[in-house]
Amino acid sequence: MAQPESAAVTAEPRAEPGSGAGERHQRPGAARYGIVFWLAVAWLVIIGCCAAFAQWLPVGDPEEINVRDMLLAPSAEHLLGTDGTGRDVFARLVHGARVSVVVSLAAVAFGMLVGGTLGIMAGFFRGRFETVVMAVVDVILAFPGLVLLLALVAYVGQSLTAIALVIGFLSIPIYARVARANTLSVAEREFVLAARAMGAKRRRLLVSEVAPNVVLPLLAYALVATGVIIILEGSLAFLGLSVQPPTPTWGSMIAEGKRHLDTDPHVAAFPAVVMFLTVLSLNLVGDRLRNRFDVREANV
């Protein structure tokens, strides 16, 4: 295989040892990331399925109150026991995933889209636009987050969409900063100058040279931020400001379980553990992916 190829190219260039780098990148994925990474991915897939298919899963009604069965320990009938009003904890966890997943995904998407766009444009065009955007961003950042969140929720309302948008709005500044910082360094790189010297328009430079290089670090950051948002939604629910009861959310389950901590800790513990595992998985996956992007940029 190597024989004819090297013979064919000796006249012009010698075949250069570029294939070594290529092989390193083509190793099978499973071996590269390790078992912990795949466990984390599996957990996230399970949570995702729960959120998507909750009403078709054979888990019972999460809102059915049965005072006779309150605070039961885990059993065959109630896998994870029941809470203070006799609702099935397992069913509520499965249905509660929907709020966490929808809020975190929507908030991240909204924040990243708006914040990322503003940040990339600020970093690329500089000048007055950058000054104004970054000033606004700094003002939002300087405001105590939870207070602003409470004020906005009180004003906008407590529907799923409203909460997702409010949390997304609050994360705009961080994405804007990350995007701007990355844009500043990418825009100085020579390939942007090279594209300019080939006659590319500014819009073209922004969209096809700078943006693809900024999106990767932004995505890696977003994965970690998703975990933060799940916690944030939990805090809101704990304060009674997330989606209105009786819709189950992990945060409100913990808040409700708090009353029975001394006698029946499982009511608060199960949602807390689920939330913990979810956030941990997101961080693990996000970290691993970010490492991969970094390695790749270092290679280049």
The residue among 167, 155, 49, 41 whose CA lies nearest residue 109 is: 167
Which is closer to other proteins, CB of 201 or CB of 259?
201
Which is closer to other proteins, CB of 188 or CB of 262?
188
Q: What gap in Å lies between CA 106 and CA 153, rounded to an integer?
A: 16
Q: What gap in Å lies between CA 122 and CA 234, rounded to an integer?
A: 33
By CB under 8 A, which span of 10-18, 96-104, 152-160, 239-247 interacts with other proteins? 10-18
- 190 binding other proteins? (CB under 8 A): yes
By CB under 8 A, which span of 65-73, 104-112, 202-210, 279-287 interacts with other proteins? 202-210
Minimum separation from the CB atom of position 219 to other proteins (A): 12
Q: How many residues bind other proteins (CB under 8 A)?
A: 36
- 5 binding other proteins? (CB under 8 A): yes
Minimum separation from the CB atom of position 294 to other proteins (A): 12
Minimum separation from the CB atom of position 172 to other proteins (A): 24
Phi, psi of 247 (to 5 degrees): -55, 125
- 185 binding other proteins? (CB under 8 A): no
What tokens appear for 282 in the block? 């997101």
Which residue of 8, 45, 113, 154 would you call a contact of other proteins, by CB under 8 A? 8
Q: What gap in Å lies between CA 259 and CA 290, rounded to an integer?
A: 40
- 258 binding other proteins? (CB under 8 A): no
What tokens appear for 243 in the block? 């989606």
By CB under 8 A, which span of 116-124, 152-160, 196-204, 237-245 interacts with other proteins? 196-204
Which is closer to other proteins, CB of 36 or CB of 194?
194
Q: Is 82 helix (H, G, I), strand (E, B) or coil?
A: strand
Report whether 100 contacts 249 (CB < 8 A).
yes
- 32 binding other proteins? (CB under 8 A): no
The residue among 130, 140, 167 whose CA lies nearest residue 152 is: 167
Minimum separation from the CB atom of position 222 to other proteins (A): 17
CB atoms within 10 A of CB 42: 11
Report whether 109 contacts 117 (CB < 8 A).
no
Phi, psi of 129 (to 5 degrees): -55, -45
- 193 binding other proteins? (CB under 8 A): yes
- 64 binding other proteins? (CB under 8 A): no
Which residue of 100, 182, 183, 213 would you call a contact of other proteins, by CB under 8 A? 213
- 151 binding other proteins? (CB under 8 A): no
Q: What residues pair up with 82 in beta bridges, in sequence order? A: 88
Q: Is 172 helix (H, G, I), strand (E, B) or coil?
A: helix
State the amino acid at position 29 in one-letter form.
Answer: G
Binding site for other proteins (CB under 8 A): 5, 8-9, 12-18, 21-22, 25, 189-191, 193-202, 204, 208-209, 212-213, 216, 296-297, 299-300
